Structure 1
Amino acid sequence: MTTNTKATETEVAQQLFEAYQTQHALKMADFETAVADEDAAYRVQAELTALKKQPVGGYKVSLTSAETQKMFDAHTPLYGAQVASHFLAAPAMVRLGQLMAPLVEVELVFKAKETLSATDSLTDLWHKTTVAPGLELPDSRFADWFPSLPKNLVVADAAVGGLVVYGEEHDTDQRFDSVDAVATVNCRLTHDGRELKTGTASEVLGNPLKSLHWLVGKLAEQGKTLSAGQRVSSGTFVLPPHLTAGHWQADFDQQLGAVVLDVSHD
């Protein structure tokens, strides 16, 4: 990596941070050649995370279905680090003005009960985590980002991280009889009482625990670990609608319960 390349990556991170602070959206066309590849994108993301000067509360995993991978011309998932203050316990209240161009995703949110290792099996992860129903609100610092934002810019922009709302947390191995059972969760997403979407956990790499497993391995490749207390929004069950003001609720079966989010106009 040359000095000029490093300077470019640092500049991209700074511009993303300024957009994050001011909510003035960037133009994709201005950054088409600024991030050379996925490795560069993760370096930009790391610099962006450092600029926020907040503890990392966990991660979000994106592109966990064949449909979303095709939309972004990708063949693997990707992740974004999320600051702790962006994980909200349900019931939550959010102002539209807190975000720029958010969507709504229905997810399972895992929390590490101890440090997770790249050598952990799916069964290990089943024992070492809690699980909660979740709503993720992906957002981007780029204008007109969905679904046309290039994959490397998605990664650089903290995997278009916004907010994650999570419901009641349960030991994963107590809520589910087996690893395979995690894939059978169904959900129903409503807005102001009207059903918008239904989905199933198997949309997430076949099983959301596989998404968590991928993340732990990817972090290990980069010399990072998923530590006790950190949460992971593991991937959406549904193609996301746009977030609007009103009452949002996601109801899950398997005794996971519901996640409630109220969004105001201001």
Structure 2
Amino acid sequence: MTQLNAKQTEFANALYQAYAKNEPLTESDWTGVVTDDDTAYAVQDQVMQLKGQPVAGYKVSLTSKQTQDMFDADSPLYGQQVAERFLTAPADVNLADLNEPLVEVELAFRAKEDLHSNDSLDDLLHKVTVAGALEVPDARFKDWFPSLGKYNVMSDCAVGGLVVLGTEKDADLVFSDVAAAATVNATLVKDGKELASGTSAEVLGNPLESLKWLVTKLEAQGKGFKAGQVVSSGTFVLPPHLTAGKWEVHFDHELGDVVVNAK
């Protein structure tokens, strides 16, 4: 297990205070404090310990080449999140409670039983529920998107903000097979105007691959993806900024709509 030095411990404490008080940090104050993946995840673990709540779920970020290139990365990364940050649609969101939030269109999976690295994609399909989701990434740093350094993104729980979940259904009832999970189409609308559209194939080719990556990564770290935990698996579209108004995501495959009212 990676041990944090004094400055890295100070960084974890600063991230927690920024989270608790919604007072963002200046990235230049923390540049170079974390310089590798293992330490970044150790800082993230410390931040979660300071929150004093169990891990209710995760988000997976950098699930397309475009977003990996933006953060000079060659693989996804994950962030842990507490239960109060997962909301059910339709949801009201107060912008004053956030820093500089974005909007992402995703599929979310919830484990019906513990998941394991030796589970095949087909095994995972039968072990989870699926829901359309609107994720609201947000960082504990000023002017963070898209220039925040990768290790600071990782330390900051993968810039987790909120995840608004649509209706959850057994994934194997929504999708006839693994390949079908890559064919979900979604359209993002704000105040009646279409902003973007995308497909689930943008997420590592298939969002079940994102789930598989996370389960394998957690197990390698001595953690696990437990029954009841949920993951927002990766965005279909390049995220716009969340501003005041009515945001909607329309999903096919009978996944319905996810609505967020931002004020």
TM-score computed with the length of structure 2 as normaliser: 0.98
Q: Distance in 2 between matches of 1:202 and 1:2?
A: 35
- 1:185 aligned onto 2:184: yes
Stretch of structure 1 that moved more, 130-139 or 46-55: 46-55
- Report the Cα offset of residue 36 of structure 1: 2.1
- Report the Cα offset of residue 96 of structure 1: 0.3
Q: Distance in 1 between matches of 2:230 and 2:21?
A: 27
Q: Distance in 2 between matches of 1:87 and 1:11?
A: 28
Q: Distance in 1 between matches of 2:240 and 2:256?
A: 21
**2:2 touches 2:42 (CA, 8 Å); kept in 1?**
no
Q: Distance in 1 between matches of 2:108 and 2:161?
A: 15
- Report the Cα offset of residue 54 of structure 1: 1.5
Q: Distance in 2 between matches of 1:194 and 1:74?
A: 33
- Map 1:150-169 to 2 at 5 A: 150-169=149-168
Q: What amino acid is the match of 2:93?
A: V
Q: Distance in 2 between matches of 1:243 and 1:79?
A: 21
Q: Distance in 2 between matches of 1:263 and 1:36?
A: 36
Q: Distance in 2 between matches of 1:204 and 1:71?
A: 16
Determine the structure 1 residue equivalent to 2:27: 28
- Map 1:206-225 to 2 at 5 A: 206-225=205-224
- 1:63 aligned onto 2:62: yes
**Aligned with 2:159: secondary structure?**
coil
- Report the Cα offset of residue 98 of structure 1: 1.4
Determine the structure 2 residue equivalent to 1:108: 107
**How many residues are paired up?**
263
**1:183 touches 1:201 (CA, 8 Å); kept in 2?**
yes
**Aligned with 2:99: secondary structure?**
coil
**1:9 touches 1:43 (CA, 8 Å); kept in 2?**
no
What fraction of aligned residue pairs are identical, expressed as a percent? 59
Q: What amino acid is the match of 2:114?
A: T
Instruction: Specify every segment of 5 or more residues in structure 2 that has no aligned partner in the other structure, as ranges.
Output: none
Once the two structures are superposed, residues 8-44 of structure 1 have per-residue CA deviations (whole angstroms, 9 ceiling, x without a partner) of 2211100001111121111111111111211100000
- Map 1:121-200 to 2 at 5 A: 121-200=120-199
- 1:48 aligned onto 2:43: no
Determine the structure 2 residue equivalent to 1:99: 98
**Aligned with 1:255: secondary structure?**
coil
- Report the Cα offset of residue 60 of structure 1: 0.1
Q: Distance in 1 between matches of 2:159 and 2:144?
A: 9
Q: Distance in 2 between matches of 1:162 and 1:135?
A: 11
Q: Distance in 2 between matches of 1:119 and 1:107?
A: 25
Once the two structures are superposed, residues 186-231 of structure 1 have per-residue CA deviations (whole angstroms, 9 ceiling, x without a partner) of 0000001100000000000000000000000000111001111110
Instruction: Specify every segment of 5 or more residues in structure 1 that has no aligned partner in the other structure, as ranges.
Output: none
Q: Distance in 2 between matches of 1:47 and 1:86?
A: 18
Q: What amino acid is the match of 2:241?
A: H
**2:2 touches 2:38 (CA, 8 Å); kept in 1?**
no
**Aligned with 1:102: secondary structure?**
coil
- Report the Cα offset of residue 55 of structure 1: 2.0
Determine the structure 1 residue equivalent to 2:37: 38
Once the two structures are superposed, residues 67-101 of structure 1 have per-residue CA deviations (whole angstroms, 9 ceiling, x without a partner) of 00000000000000010110001111110011100
Once the two structures are superposed, residues 149-192 of structure 1 have per-residue CA deviations (whole angstroms, 9 ceiling, x without a partner) of 11000000000000000000010001000100000000000001
**2:81 touches 2:157 (CA, 8 Å); kept in 1?**
yes
Relative to structure 1, the CA distance from residue 2 to residue 52 in structure 2 (aligned partners, 3 Å threshold; closer, same or farther) is closer
